[in-house]
Every structure is written in C-alpha cells, then in structure tokens.
Amino acid sequence: MQKELLERALNINRRKFLASLSIGVGSVALGSLLMPDLFGGASDDAGFVPGIPHFAPKAKRVIYLFQNGAPSQLETFDHKPMLCEMMGENLPDSIRQGQRLTGMTSQQKTFPLVGSYYKFNQHGQSGAWVSELFPYMSKIVDDICIVKSMHTEAINHDPALTFFQTGNQQGARPSMGSWVSYGLGSENKNLPAFCVLLSRGKGNGQGVYSKLWSNGFLDSIHQGVQFSSGDNPVLYLQDPDGMDRNARRQMLDKIGELNEMDYKNFGDPEIATKIQQYETAFRMQTAVPDILDVTKESEDIVKLYGSECLVPGTYAANCLLARKLSENGVRFIQLYHQGWDQHGNLPIEMKGQAKDVDQASAALITDLKQRGLLDETLVIWGGEFGRTNYCQGKMTEDKYGRDHHPRCFSIWMAGGGIKPGMVYGETDEFGYNIVQNPVHVHDFQATVLNQLGLDHEKLVYLYQGRRFRLTDVEGKVVRDILS
Amino acid sequence: MCFLDDLIVNCSSPNDAQMRKLIVVSLLVVLVYLYSCTGNTVPGTDDTERISYNFQVRPIFSDKCFKCHGPDANKRQAGLRLDIESEAYKALKEHPRSHALVPGDPDQSELFIRVSSKDTGLQMPPLNSHLPSLTATEVAIIKKWIRQGAKYEKHWAFVAPVKPAIPKVSNTSWPKNQIDYFVLNEMEKHSFSPNEEADRERLLKRICFDLNGLPSTPEQAQKFLEDKSDNAYEKMVDALLQQPSYGERMALPWLDIARYADSHGYQDDNYRSQWPWRDWVIHAFNNNLSYDKFITWQMAGDLIPNATKEQILATGFNRNHKITEEGGVVDEEYRVEYVVDRTNTMSRGILGITMECAKCHDHKYDPFSQKDYYKMTAFFNSIKEVGLESSVGGPETYAKNPRMEITKEDLQGILKFVNKTDTNKLEVSVMKDRDTARTTYVLTRGNYDQHGDSVEPGTPASILSFPANYPGNRLGLAQWLFNEKNPLTARVFVNRIWQEFFGRGIVKSAADFGMQGDLPTHPALLDWLAVDFRENGWNIKRLVKQIVMSATYRQSAVISKDKLKNDPENIYLSRAPRMRLPAELVKDLVLASSGLLNRTIGGTSVKAYQPKGLWELATSGRGILASYKQDTGQAVYRRGMYTFIKRTVPPPNMMIFDAGSRDQCEVKRSRTNTPLQALIMMNDPAVLEASLALSDQLLKKGNASAANVEEAFRKIICRIPDRKEMGILTEYWNEKQTLFKTDKKSAEKIIAVGQYKPVTKNTAELAALMQVIQVIYNMEEAITKT
C-alpha cells in the first residue's frame, strides 16, 4: 500500500510535470529532495541546470569544520619566531598601515608584539610548521593543504561568520551549504542535502546563529538541518512515547487514505506532494537514527577519534557523525566548534580548544582516507578571521590575549582534489600582512564550489531582479592549490 | 502560443525558470518547424499584432542587455545605452556608420544583427557575460518591434495610474463587483470560464482565515448554512471585519515587512522591548486607520506638529532593524547600516522597488543612480542614534536611543491598546532627529568610511521628483509617498493585499515593480484598484471587503484537469487558490480548534514549546536569552504571531513552515511542502497536546461515540465529514479503542503530553479519540485554505 501510494504520487508528479510544464512550489521542492533526477533535463534561463554540475567534479561532498571565534594563526600554523624575539616591542606603524582596529583595542596606547607561547615544529614530507598544541594534526600534514594567506573584510564575529557562510556580511543570503544543495541536490532521498552539527569548547565563545545555515531567498528545502547526536537527532523526528512503528504506519495509512480522497476532489498536485512528504518523513524516522548510531562503530574507530566520540554533543562525536552522514550522501556538513575567541588568557584557553578538536579532526582525515572517501570529500578546517600579533590587555609570558585580525589567517583544506602536503601563501615576519598569494573569502568560496563541479559565476539565483551568487561579484578559483 | 508567451514573461522563480526552459525548448521545436514551413511566421507575433515595448521588448532588454548597456554608467560597454530612446538611436561610438536601432529596418539595426547572429564573435549577449542568449521568440519580438518603428515607452510602474474604464464581458451575470469585470474579461480573452462559487462551509473557512486568521467554528458554520438571506455572506464578512482578530491577521504580513522581532539580532542577540509597537499595528488595523496615516505615522509620527505619543510609538517601525551589541564594532559602520536598512525597507516594502541595488553603484536595471540612493538615505540619516549604544546588559539596553517611555498614564489613556501586565519600566525605540542634520554623502562602493559628494534629501526623478515646497525631512517624504502623482505607493499596497488573498500579487514580484520585476497579469485591474483605493481615502477595510466580496474570490478551489494543464499557475484566476496556511496560522488552527487558544491580544511575546537546547547551543552565555525559559500556563496557548522571535535562533516550528526570519524586510514568504512539516504535525507537543485537550473536552460532554469523531472533524477541517471520511475515521477509532482497552500502558504514555490535565478518567477512550484527532490534524485540508 505504502509503496503503491508513493509510486502513484510520483507518477502524478511526473505526469503533471511533463504534461503541463508547471507544478506547485512544494512539488518542485519535493523533487529536488527526493528525485534529483526528475529535473535533470530542465535548466534555468541563466544557463544553470540544478542537480547537474557545470563540469566534472573532484569532490562530491564537503565537511566544513568551522572553528568558531577565530583561532589564532600564530599559535596554530603560522610560525613567527621574530615575534618571540621582539616580545613587548611596539607594532611598527609601517606594518600596521592604518589598519582599522576593533573598538576593543583601538583605544590601547601601545600595541606590544607577542610571540607564541607554544613551540612550533616541522612535520611530514612537506615540512609544514605546526604548533605543539596539535600533535595529531601534525601527523596528517602530508594529507592537507595549509593556506596561510586567508584574508577577510570583516573585523567582528557576526559579520565575519556571516560573510564566510553566505558571501555577505549583513546576511539574508543563502548559506554555502544551501547553495550546494540548490546546485547539486541530495544523494540520499532520506536525508537533507545540508546538515549542521554544533559543539562548544570551554574557551571564550561567540555563539552561532541559525541564520548561518539559512536558505536565504532559496526554497526552504535548502535550509541546513540541524542534527545532534542525542535521542532526537533531527527536530521533531522522534515519535511520542507510546507510539511504535506499527502504530505510526497505521496512522499514516489513514492519513494517506483521507488525503487521497482530498486529491480526487480537488485535483491539487500539492496534495499528492503532501502524501509523499509524509512517506519521506516516515522513512527518515528510521533512516536517520540508523545512520547516526555510533554503537556499531568498531573499537579501532573509537580509538581513532578518541573515546569522547561516544559522548553526544562533543566535537569528536560530531566529526564521527559527519563522516557517517557524508558516507551516506549528505552533500554539505557544517560543523561549528565554539570557543576560539581568545582576547585574553590565550595560552590556557587555546590548549583546551586544541584538545577538543585536534585528535578528531585528524581522525576524520585518516578515516576518510582509509575508506577511500577522501578523494571525493573536501574537508575544511578554519575560523572566520585571524588574531593580532600584538597583545590585547595585560601581557605576561604565559598570559596574553589577541584581538581580531582580518588581514591574514590560516585554514586548511584536504581531499576533494586539493593538493596534499602543501603550504600555500606567506605572511610577513610580523604575521600581520600577506606577502604572497592572498586568498580572499570569495576566492575560497569559489574554490570550494569549483571542486564540486560548480562555476561560482554560473551558480546563480534570480531574486528581486538580480542574479545572486555566493561570491557576490568577486572570487577567483585558487588554481595553485588544486591537484 | 500567446499564452505561452505570457507564461514565459511571468515566470520568475527558479522553479518556474525550469519550466520556462522547457517551454522555451518546446517552443523552439515548434519554431523550427514553422520556420521551415512558412518562412516568416513566428508564433505570438502575427503581423497585425502591435508589439508593446513595456510588456514584450523591455523585459528582454532588461534581462539580457541592460547589465552592460543600461543605467549603470560604470559598467557600460562600447558607450551604448539601450534603456533611453535617444541614446539607443545614436550612431554607435565604435562604429559611427552603424546604429543599434534603425526604426523600421531590423536588418540595418546592429542590435538585431547581433542578437540574432550565430557567430559567437558577434553574438550578443557575449559568452563572457554569463547571460543566456535570446530565444527565437525574443529575437522575433525584437525584429518586429524594430519594423514597427522601435518606439520606447516609459516603464509602466513609473507612470501614475489612471482609473481605467470597466471592461465589457459576455457573461454579465457572473460579476459581483468591478474586480470581476477585469478578471472575467481576461478569462474570456483566453477562453477560460470561472469556477462555481465555493460551497458555504469552505467559503466560510476561507474568509475566517483570511480576515481573522482563525478557523470557523461549527456554530458559525451552522448559522451561515441556515441563513438563507441574500446578503448572508456580506453579513458574515462584516462581522469578521469587526472582530479584534482582524487586526491581528492584518498585522502579520506587516510584521514581516517591518522586520519586527523580540531581540536585537546580532551575535549574543539579547532581548529588546519593541512589542508595544506591534500592539499599535494591531490597534491601527482594528481602528481602520487609513493607509496614508498608517504609513505617515510610522515614517514621521514624531515630526507631526503636536505629535501624540501614539504617533511617536508608530515610528518604532524604523527602529525594528537589527542593532548590534557586539563590543568592538566600529560605531559608524553600524550607524550607516541602520540608515541603509531603513532606506531599503521603505523601498522594498512601501515603494516596491529594489533601491538597495544602487547602494554601491548606479542601478543596473532601473533608472536610479547611486546619488538617488543616498538622497533617499538622507531622510533617515539624522536620527539621534549611534551604531553601538550598549553591549549585552540589563533593562537599560532593551530599547536604544532615541526611545520613549510608556507610562502608567499612557496605558490608561492614549496607549491603552498596549497590553502591559507588569509594573516594570517600559521603553520603546522610536525616531527622533538631531537638532542639526548630519551631512549625507554618497558612499563610494557603499563603504561607510568612503565619502563621495554630499547630497540633500531627495527622491528619484524617474519615480517623482521631490516637490520643492515639501519639507526635506521624513514628513516631507511621507507627503511625497501619498502625492497623487506618486505612481507606486497605492499600486504596491493593493498588490500586496491582493497577494494575501490570492497567494500571488497581480504583480508577482510584490517587492519589485522595476524593470526586472514581473509584469502585472491584470494591469488595468491593478490601476483601477490603486486609484479607487486612493480616491476612497486609502480605506483598508473597504479594499479588503471589496476583494472578498468579489465573485473572483468566492470561486471554488477545485482544479480541473484542463485548468491545471492550461493555467497551472492560475494566472487568469478562473479558480480560487488552494494554499497552505502561514506558519502562525497553523498554530492558531491547532489551538483554536482544540479549545486551548488564549485570545489575549498583544503584550510581551511568549515562549511556547520548543525542542530543548537550541538557544543554549548557540550562545556565548551572555544576556537573558542565553537559555530558553519556556512559559507555562495560558501563555503557551497564545496565537502564533505572539511567539517570541529571537532573530539568530528563530522558533523552528515557525521557520519550517516558512515564517519570516525578520532579519530584513520581507514582502513575500516562500511556500514549501516538506517532510519536516509532516514531522511537526506528527510530533510537535503543541499538536499532540491539542489533540489530547480536544479529546478530553469531547469526552467530558458524554459517552464515547462516533459523534465525537464528527465534531472533532468539524472543528478542525471546518466542514461536516462525508460518509467515506467518517468510515475511515471511525474504523480507526474502533481499532484504537480495542487496542487501548488491553494496552493501558501505551494509552498512559500517549496521553502524557504537554501541561494539559485531562478530566476524563477513561484513559483508553481518551487515547483512542486523541489519536483519531491526530489523524485529522494531519489531513492536508486541515492546514489548507480551500
């Protein structure tokens, strides 16, 4: 019965689609979630065909490990020994070049340089410098590409985060994951194309906002769906107490029968869609907990990610879930780990944050690699801007803070056609300005889309008379880092 | 074929775009065939037909040419400008012996040669523009337009509307008022005939939701069915227009436009106390404040001589934008952002234009220069405000300067519609100008710190120049909005109200009447309604009544196969739309039908049931909104519109049903149909609790019987079930009764939802009927306006 009903609904849609060349909004939304192939032949006037890449993709999926709050590049990947030597000396004006500062340090009388409390060592074949805070990530440097020359326009968290995720500081635009969902659709009919996972460290946090995974002006089917590793992994997924699967099935059959009658009376294709959406919901109820169940993971895997991966809501658990969701065809998985905003007490706070993320981040790369999935999965690790080379507030050797710094910061990317074992871009010896190969946020976004087979200038959506893009009016693919 | 042209012109969403491509593809097939047979005949453009620049040519230019040959001087290529007649006729700068347009002679017109060329070196638009080539139909339209003399017209929306004559129709018995003549005229032109009038129960449900946002009750339905008088429908409409819930229903879309919310909107996103402004909006609609006053007070209530506190409260409209509390931001950057937000909100929400496109450069499609943009911002640039007034803190941060205190006296007097129940100090952000105006500059590339030329307050001449005798402030701006020569204000409002009732506006792009916007499907009707509205004192209730009294509105929503095939989007309005209720009304239906609804109007927003941990996971821990403290008691049963909106983490059960995020001005919500919505109807405790409450109330009245099932159906679906429906439901009810009689444990668990305490002792009966009710709530028809 259930299958029949679904088939019928599908046929109604297909038939109607072909016969009338039009369909309700919901039906199309349904199409992109359930049947990415349904609209395969159709195309936007702007030359964009939803569901089909513009060119052969290197990556099929993205896992974005967002380090929310902006980890300091100077204690992670950008090794600046000179700052230790010049400890306490004032930042020369010739280096600052009138850079605007946040209201938190613009009143400071001096800008004393401060070097990393943590030591740096070179690792792997590539000889990349990594701080001692990240012993696990140090071991995967030959699998990743460290970009030390990222820069952005915003100097505060909210606009900078929003800029990274939506291409616009003031929001109201679709998130990167929504664009990808719109561009490529879903690989798994029981899962959303764009999933979001949140965790938080003990460091000074800045919060995240659901507007960061908003669909903006795209249909809400492209909205990021928040997943968690608790009892209720997707909002409203869990049936109430006292209702088992059979009872739910029985109830849905009755609802389906009534809705079928309604459809006969009114002929509205939205009703057929509704019938189908209930069936999808029913399947999601079993499929999602099944996919998210970590109890079936082997001991080796638990060891790889660290035992924290069994504790719901931790970064490690989310990394493991990300792998599982990705493996099951989710296009874009967005993690946020909060707590990276070290205006003061940086050495201690960063140690905690690093401990939260180091092992699991590295494990994710190793895990994907051993499953042969790293080639087709693009993994990104990084925050929304960098931090100043001078101290904010009081300074001692083991206690200092760093303010926001948009002019340079470090992220890494791996898999999905990105050159492994590479360090890209250089900053000056003060770690303040970029001296080689700058990568703007829009360049980064263009590159991510490029790896997915999407031309960032062609992935457009006509809204209020304008063709909008993730990269707005800028962005160049960073070809140097492509393998 | 003519119809297909219309379709092509009227498609704009991406979904439509997909269709559009298919239509175009199929057209091409037909075209190739026709060309091969007859040489010259092009569908939709037979020789006697006059090509309209505004309706046929300009949309092509706007979409595919103006980007490089339009109003934006900085992006203009080859010195060619096609949006202005005299410029387009000039000899080409790069080829002085050629002309883009030679009226009467397409083959001498470089424009035609280029757009019809197959040579990629010559073809326009060029490959690197990323713009699609012109379709064969478009090329044919341009050819014919040039042959007919290449005459330009001013953009329709920038010419003040003139009241057109009522058109003639063949079926003179159908129209009930003027609207119907316009609609039927178009239907007859395209060989459609209207649907029958909807049956009374469904019609009643429709007007109850449209006018009050609440379901009709079985008692109302009974009364309406029994009233055999000729004006039974009108009496019902009049009664609903008098209900206080009318103001709530009308306020809802306005809150989207006004981006109203209960938090400041950035980063920690702490609490703001702007709700008295929302109470005013409800009050204003219930009082039937005329639209000119409604807007004038909101734009400039503080500048009206001897302004009352009510008029000042109304100006909260321009302070509903997001305000940062993030320590360390550059003050001026955010102050400018607020000015920009106000300008964009007025442009989009009241004028229906995309003025914001001219923030960084001249508008690429519409005749608005960057200077025009900053002249508009000048009206909003002298507010006594700063970018960052305070960081997350106590009550002193809940409203930002300039602000107004609402006193006890106000609450007993002029502001008695403000529903304040506590004794705390209450302040609201409002508008107030500085003593000396700030100089407004053109901001280069839109950057707050890159000042260009200074500008005076003003409005785009392409819409209507700002009269010299108007004051150069917000009050003058309001006068300008309601100047009878203003071509936009009335059209945009009647269109948006139309959209509320029919699901799409006469102009589908309700926030863009510019050159890239959709063309009106019924231009004469739009103009008639606009002028009529203005001539009748901008009377909103009158306009609303006019619409719901029309035969057009009263049609049934049945979609015949023919109509679905020939007019899937219902452009010709030969049936009533069938639409899912807006998010807030889904909740209202659930609460009202179950008897749980708390009818209190206004007041502080409420925190109803919400999955745990959402606020807690997304916060730094600062402020009173760091954790979600759910309300209890009657507060959780308030109408959907009173749900607390924390901008950065809006209520998920609202967002999943496409509620506005209130981030920026929003004129039209999307309307989707997703599995997550099904999950909400299946599992949201609010729906489960309502099912329990209704079950309890029905069982309280007497013994369990099928009559209970029928009554539940009537309360939720708003009509009497037919025999088959009753058959399905009673069968299910019987099964559940049998089951729960033996499985008491499951029954106990089932009824343990929400805070509701049932009085019915028979758990099995309670659970069985409750589940039947859940089935009814999950019927598609329950949350659909039919």
DSSP-H helix ranges across A198-268: 245-266
Report the largest interatomic distance among the alpha carbons of chain A, rounded to a whole angstrom: 81
CATH number at residue A427: 3.40.720.10
Place of tokens 């926001």: A404
Statement to judge: residues A385 and A470 lie in one domain: yes
Q: Are residues B672 and A219, on separate chains, in Cβ contact within 8 Å?
A: yes
Short-list A361, A242, A229, A245, CA closest to A289? A229
The length of chain B is 786
Residue among A414, A36, A217 at smallest CA distance from B509: A217
Answer whether residue B18 shows pLDDT above 70. Answer: no
Q: In this predicted complex, what is the ipTM? A: 0.87
Tell me, what amino acid is at A255? I
Residues of B in contact with A225 (CB under 8 A): 676
Cβ–Cβ of B337/A170 closer than 8 Å?
Answer: yes
A237 falls within a domain = no
Q: Residue B669 to residues A96, B248, B511: CA-CA distances in angstroms?
A: 46, 18, 11
* DSSP-assigned states of every residue in A116-172: -SS-EEEETTTTEEEETT-HHHHTTGGGEEEEEEEE-S--SHHHHHHHHHHSSTT--
pLDDT at B398 over 90: yes
Residue B211: predicted pLDDT? 98
Is A207 contained in some domain? yes
Rg (CA), chain B: 29
- C-alpha angle B566-B567-B572 in degrees, rounded to nearest 5: 130
Distance from CA of B268 to the nearest CA of A (A): 7
- Whether A23 and B19 have beta carbons less than 8 Å apart is answered as yes
Radius of gyration of chain A (CA): 24
Question: Which positions ≥6 away from B169 have C-beta within 8 Å?
Answer: B175, B181, B184, B185, B188
A300 in a domain, yes or no?
Answer: no
CA distance B325 to B400: 11
- DSSP 3-state assignment of B563? helix
Counting one residue from A and one from B, how many pairs have CB atoms under 8 Å apart? 297
Q: Who among B63, B328, B672 is closest to A221 (CB)?
A: B672
Mean pLDDT of chain A: 87
Of A27, A238, A275, the CB nearest to B683: A238
Inside any domain, residue A303: no
A114-118, A281-285, B130-134, B635-639: least confident range = B130-134
Whole-model pTM: value is 0.84
φ/ψ (deg, to 5) at A147? -105, 115
Query: Are the beta carbons of B611 and A236 separated by less than 8 Å?
Result: yes
Residues of chain A contacting B16 with CB distance shorter than 8 Å: 22
| Residue of higher predicted confidence among B410 and B131 | B410
List the one residue out of B274, B273, B275, B295 whose CA is nearest residue B284: B295
**Interface list for A 331-360 with B (CB within 8 A):** 338
- pLDDT exceeds cutoff 70 at A48: no
Please name the amino acid found at residue A117: Y
More confident residue, B210 or A290: B210
Tell me: do A93 and A139 sit in the same domain: yes
Same domain, A283 and A421: no
Q: Are B459 and B374 in contact (CB under 8 A)?
A: no
**Do A283 and A380 reside in the same domain of the chain?**
no
Looking at the fold, whether A253 and A361 belong to one and the same domain comes out as: no
Chain B interface, mutation test: which of A258, A273, A288, most B Cβ atoms within 10 Å? Answer: A258
Q: How confident is the model at residue A473 (pLDDT cuts 50, 70, 90)?
A: confident
Q: Say whether both A460 and A331 belong to one domain.
A: yes
Q: What is the DSSP letter of A399?
A: E
Task: Name the DSSP letter for residue A419.
Answer: P
The answer, yes or no, to whether residue B24 has pLDDT greater than 70, is no
The answer to whether position A368 is within a domain reads yes
* Distances from the Cα of B312 to the Cα of A275, B296, B387, B401, B431, angstroms: 50, 11, 21, 13, 7
Chain B nearest-CA residue for A211: B648
Do B732 and B770 touch, CB atoms closer than 8 A?
Answer: no
Q: Can you give the pLDDT at residue B40?
A: 39
Are B492 and B498 in contact, with CB atoms under 8 Å apart?
A: no
Do A187 and A114 share a structural domain? yes
Question: A312 in contact with B at a CB cutoff of 8 Å?
Answer: no
Q: Is residue A299 part of a domain?
A: no
Please tell me the predicted confidence (pLDDT) of residue A49: 55
Helices and strands counted in chain A (H then E): 13, 17
CB atoms A251 and B775 under 8 Å: yes
Same domain? For A66 and A185 the reply is yes
Q: Tell me whether A1 touches chain B (CB under 8 Å).
A: no
What pLDDT does residue B44 have? 45
Option in A26, A237, A242 nearest B673 (CB):
A26
| B503 contacts on A by Cβ (under 8 Å) | none
DSSP code for B109:
B
Helix ranges (H only) for B488-626 are 489-502, 523-535, 540-549, 551-554, 561-566, 583-594, 614-617
Higher local confidence (pLDDT), A40 or B181: B181
**B404 forms bridges with which residues in the sheet?**
B428
Asked if B565 and A19 come within 8 Å (Cβ–Cβ), the reply is yes
Mean pLDDT of B595-607: 98
Question: Mutating which of A100, A158, A168, A336 best tests the B interface, going by the most B Cβ atoms within 10 A?
Answer: A158
DSSP B676-707: HHHHHHHH-HHHHHHHHHHHHHHHHHSS--HH
A222 occurs within a structural domain:
yes
B779 chain-A contacts, CB cut-off 8 A:
255, 258-259, 262
Q: Which amino acid is at B298?
A: Q
Tell me: do A263 and A401 sit in the same domain.
Answer: no
Distance in Å, alpha carbon of B14 to nearest chain A alpha carbon: 7
A278 touches chain B (CB under 8 A): yes
Q: Which of residues 46-75 of A touch B (CB under 8 A)?
A: 46-47, 50
Most confident of A197-201, B123-127, B688-692: B688-692
Domain residue limits at A195: 43-229+312-481
Count up the domains in chain A and report the number. Answer: 2
For residue A66, the 8-state DSSP code is E
Strand A194-200 versus strand A225-227 pairing type: parallel
In A, residues 193-212, which contact B (CB 8 Å cutoff)? 198, 200, 204-211
N- to C-terminal Cα separation, chain A: 50
* Inter-residue contact B511 to A464 (CB < 8 Å): yes
Q: Confirm whether A446 is domain-assigned.
A: yes
The minimum CA-CA distance between B247 and chain A, rounded to whole Å, is 28
The helix-helix angle for B218-226 and B200-212 (nearest 10°) equals: 130
Chain A hits for B23, CB-CB cut-off 8 Å, are 21
User: Are A160 and A251 in a shared domain?
Assistant: no
Query: Are residues A270 and A316 located together in one domain of the fold?
Result: no
Half-sphere exposure of A218 (CA within 13 A, CB side): 29
pLDDT digits (tens, 9 = 90+) for B246-302: 999 999 999 999 999 999 999 899 999 999 999 999 999 999 999 999 999 999 999
**Maximum Cα interatomic distance, chain B, rounded to a whole number of Å:** 95
* Burial of residue B73, with CB atoms counted within 10 A of its CB: 0-12 exposed, 13-18 middle, 19 or more buried: exposed
CB atoms within 10 A of CB B444: 14
Does one domain contain both A191 and A146? Answer: yes
Q: How confident is the model at residue A440 (pLDDT cuts 50, 70, 90)?
A: very high
